[in-house]
């Protein structure tokens, strides 16, 4: 880059170039003092490995800013702030505005048009795309919907679908071969003409492979009736998927063990836990919870999800993953 910068955003564009926006040129973390924020955008061309300085933004786009490719080929650059710990708080630096960047390809001439495209495509199965009758298509690109946080767009990816076969205005386009090349989820499908001008994208869903369910990139084990799961319960999982532990038989043994403890003159948690093959710490917590008043116990246990609620929550998270969206708590609540 021509401008040194940190806390910036890099956005992959449908023609394969990368737009870099925002950032600060200072060495310190997110230094927003005058003269340090970089307003000039830069465009990287991977074909000849060159950087070109673009138009400047009017606001500081540093830490906590976002940059997202839109279906119309423009880039939304917005937000920013989070003052440096070495500086006094300045709420005016926490920005809630945004700007739209129009890449050079939007000034090269008329845009091709996607007349029709499928809503869903499957791995290894070619699909048809119809364009304008006068459009001469050079490339077809597939860009995954972005998800930006802390100057990182960890969801974006780009692939060119080739070779495609034109037959008049209708093209037969190869789908991604497998989930390693294009994970299931939602993408923007662009067609680009001879001048590398992209169309407005069609949103398509890449479906999971038959017989498989799209999973998120980590495992979540739901463990009912435990107030504070130990690190060993939730960390260092090698299986990469969402799952629900079937705790119905375990809970039944816990209930029997708690009833047994009530019959003991001096409760022996370790011996009872061995007898019923349950965790002694879990047993002790459950036993102590039963000793609360009915009102306190009710309030204490309302924080736990029922098994049906757990299944619903995991289903919502997997649904969001299929859509290429980050499963934040607010999105889960909205979807529910």
Say if pTM beats, i.e. exceeds, 0.85. Answer: no
Residue finishing a domain among 107, 137, 157: 107
Half-sphere exposure of residue 189, counting CA atoms within 13 Å on the CB side?
A: 28
Residues 226, 330: one domain? yes
Q: Do the domain assignments include residue 81? A: yes
Residue finishing a domain among 206, 232, 250: 206
Residues 103, 149: one domain? no
Q: Do the domain assignments include residue 2? A: no
Residue 333 confidence (pLDDT): 62
State the burial class of residue 70 (Cβ atoms within 10 Å of its Cβ: 0-12, 13-18, 19+): middle
Residues 182, 273: one domain? no
Q: Do the domain assignments include residue 186? A: yes
Residue 79: beta bridge partners? 65
Structure tokens at 16: 């394969």
Catalytic residue check, 63: yes
Q: Do the domain assignments include residue 259? A: yes
Range of the domain at 285: 221-335
Residues 189, 127: one domain? yes
Half-sphere exposure of residue 331, counting CA atoms within 13 Å on the CB side?
A: 13
Q: Do the domain assignments include residue 122? A: yes
CATH of the domain at 150: 2.60.40.10
Catalytic residue among 63, 105, 123, 287: 63
Residues 294, 198: one domain? no
State the burial class of residue 205 (Cβ atoms within 10 Å of its Cβ: 0-12, 13-18, 19+): middle
> What is the C-alpha to C-alpha distance for residues 23 and 37, in angstroms, rounded to an integer?
6
Domain count, the chain: 3
- Pairing status of strand 202-206 against strand 120-121: parallel
- C-alpha distances out from residue 12 to 18, 43, 314, Å: 5, 10, 31
Q: Among residues 115, 118, 112, which one has the least CA distance to residue 139?
A: 112
Residues 128, 93: one domain? no
Alpha carbon 51 to its chain centroid, in Å, reads 28
Residues 157, 88: one domain? no
> What is the C-alpha to C-alpha distance for residues 140 and 75, in angstroms, rounded to an integer?
19
Residue finishing a domain among 107, 124, 146: 107
Q: Do the domain assignments include residue 1? A: no
Residue 245 confidence (pLDDT): 39
Q: Do the domain assignments include residue 213? A: no
Q: What is the pLDDT along the chain (336 residues), one digit of tens a residue?
A: 888 888 899 999 999 999 999 888 887 777 777 778 889 999 999 999 999 999 998 888 888 889 999 999 999 999 887 655 555 566 666 788 899 999 999 999 999 999 999 999 999 999 999 999 999 999 999 999 998 888 888 889 999 999 998 888 999 999 999 998 999 999 999 999 999 999 999 999 999 988 655 444 433 444 443 333 433 333 333 333 333 334 445 677 888 888 998 899 888 988 998 888 887 877 887 887 744 444 444 554 455 566 677 777 777 777 776 666 665 666 656 655
Residues 122, 100: one domain? no
Q: Do the domain assignments include residue 133? A: yes
């Amino acid at each position: 880059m021509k401008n040194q910068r940190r806390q910036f955003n890099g956005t992959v564009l449908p023609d394969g170039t990368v737009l870099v926006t925002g950032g600060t040129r200072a060495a310190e973390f997110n230094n927003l003092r005058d003269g340090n924020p970089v307003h000039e955008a830069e465009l990287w061309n991977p074909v000849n490995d060159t950087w070109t300085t673009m138009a400047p933004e009017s606001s500081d786009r540093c830490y906590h800013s976002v940059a997202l490719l839109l279906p119309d080929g423009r880039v939304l650059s917005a937000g920013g702030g989070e003052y440096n710990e070495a500086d006094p708080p300045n709420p005016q630096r926490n920005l809630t505005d945004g700007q739209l960047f129009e890449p050079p390809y939007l000034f090269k001439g008329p845009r091709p048009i996607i007349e029709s495209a499928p809503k869903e495509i499957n791995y290894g199965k070619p699909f048809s795309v119809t364009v304008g009758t006068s459009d001469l298509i050079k490339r077809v690109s597939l860009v995954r919907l972005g998800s930006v946080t802390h100057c990182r767009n960890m969801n974006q990816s780009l692939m060119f679908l080739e070779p495609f076969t034109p037959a008049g205005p209708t093209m037969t386009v190869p789908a991604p071969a497998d989930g390693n090349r294009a994970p299931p989820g939602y993408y923007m499908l662009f067609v680009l003409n001879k001048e590398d001008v992209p169309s407005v994208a069609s949103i398509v869903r890449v479906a999971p492979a038959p017989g498989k369910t799209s999973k998120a990139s980590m495992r979540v084990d739901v463990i009912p009736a435990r107030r504070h799961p130990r690190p060993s319960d939730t960390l260092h999982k090698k299986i990469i998927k969402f799952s629900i532990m079937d705790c119905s038989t375990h809970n039944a043994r816990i209930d029997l063990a708690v009833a047994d403890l009530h019959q003991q003159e001096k409760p022996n948690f370790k011996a009872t836990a061995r007898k019923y093959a349950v965790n002694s710490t879990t047993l002790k917590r459950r036993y102590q919870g039963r000793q609360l008043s009915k009102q306190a116990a009710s309030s204490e246990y309302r924080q736990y999800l029922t098994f049906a609620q757990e299944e619903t929550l995991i289903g919502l998270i997997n649904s969001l993953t299929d859509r290429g969206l980050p499963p934040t708590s607010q999105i889960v609540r909205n979807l529910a």
